[in-house]
Amino acid sequence: MARAEAIGQGIHLNSAGPSVGIDSRPKLVAQVLQRGFTHKLFPDHQQLIPQMHELYEMELASAEAALMSDGELVRNAGYFARVGNERRA
């Protein structure tokens, strides 16, 4: 019943993963919200600046990452706080 309600509300439950007990759900929710979605857009070695919240900024950062090498990102990009082991000033 809960699954049907979630699907009706547009919430997609991961059926491939293990079943999550009610007691574990708050921890899972915290983990999912903490991870965010930028890891789906950018590799782990590219860290965005923390103040980025607008979609157009994400689109520009995505374009920078697609068009520039890591070295160019370190020198010229405006949306990354860190690329690899190098931090931007």
Q: Tens of pLDDT along 51-80?
A: 877 888 989 999 999 999 999 998 998 899
CB atoms inside a 10 Å sphere around CB 60: 15
The structural domains of the chain, with segments of one domain joined by +, span 2-35, 38-87
Buried b / exposed e over 14-52, threshold 16 CB at 10 Å, is eeeeeeeeeeeeeeeeeeeeeeeeeeeebeeebbbeeee
pLDDT of residue 21: 60
Whether 11 has a pLDDT exceeding 70, the answer reads no
pTM over 0.85: no
